Amino acid sequence: MRVRLGALGTVVDVDPRSGIRWVMIPAGSMKTERGKVLTVARPFLMAETPVTQGQWVRVMSGQGLIVNNPSFFKGDPNFPVESVTALEADEFARRVGGRLPTEDEWEYAALGGQSKDPYGPILDIAWVYENSRSKTHPVGQKLPNAFGLYDMLGNVLHWTSTTDLSGASRVARGGGWGDSAGDARASRRGDGTPGTRGDFLGFRPVKDLPSTYGKTRVELLEMDETKELPRTSEESARIRMIELDGWKRR
């Protein structure tokens, strides 16, 4: 892994296949407004935005799991992919060398190292019921958080790797395009069976850094912060039926 060394909130790596732009999330510990202590022992990489439909098609099409773009809302390859199950999100993450975050990792990253939730004026940082016109929007159009992550709240909820107490359901975090401004918070939780689909459910992967990160065996490249790294653009595919299966919001 070639990791570029940059300031907090900068893109430090780009996946050559999908075009995912990875942002460094620093290790640390913080207490949320609700008094929950979140601790991240090691830094990790997180996708700068939710996975887009273009990225999904590029990685998953023709690979035997899902050939088509499953999303309900289409029209731009930079729309977030939605209507994916937790298991499909797991498989995408695996194919780009990552995994889904735990819900604590997700919340820590969403808050950007500060306790305030939400991390900014909600209509400036998120697509929610009040401004979404009842649909998703291209990622990266709202203001990022302090870690340089876009759309952590609003647009689509994010699947995580965490299960509920029964072990039968997977947890999703944040708020989607249909949630009110008051409900789009980093503390927002919902859960559904691993086969749940919905036009409000998306995801973003994380990637673990090697155990040798920061040592001489890992190549660190100085980053030219004045040079913008390219985004990819792919065509989206055909519409797929949405299957809602036991989704619960809390």
Per-residue pLDDT for 212 more than 70?
no
Q: What stretches of 35-169 adopt beta strand conformation (E)?
A: 37-40, 44-47, 157-163
Host domain of residue 198:
1-225
Please check whether residue 231 lies inside any domain of the structure: no
- Cβ–Cβ < 8 Å for 24, 200: no
**This prediction's pTM:** 0.82
Give dist(CA 214, CA 222) in Å, integer: 13
Quickly state the pLDDT bin for 222 (edges 50, 70, 90). very low
Average pLDDT over residues 52-56: 96
Please check whether residue 14 lies inside any domain of the structure: yes
Please check whether residue 18 lies inside any domain of the structure: yes
- Cβ–Cβ < 8 Å for 12, 5: yes
Per-residue pLDDT for 224 more than 90?
no
- Residue carrying the six token digits 């155990």: 211
Give 228's contacts (C-beta < 8 A, 6+ positions apart). none
Closest CA to 136 of 177, 77, 172: 177
Quickly state the pLDDT bin for 243 (edges 50, 70, 90). very low
CATH number of residue 141's parent domain = 3.90.1580.10
Number of domains in the chain: 1
Please check whether residue 233 lies inside any domain of the structure: no
Whole-Å CA distances, 154 to 13, 43, 95, 103, 186:
25, 25, 26, 16, 10
Write out pLDDT tens, residues 80-100. 999 999 999 999 999 999 999
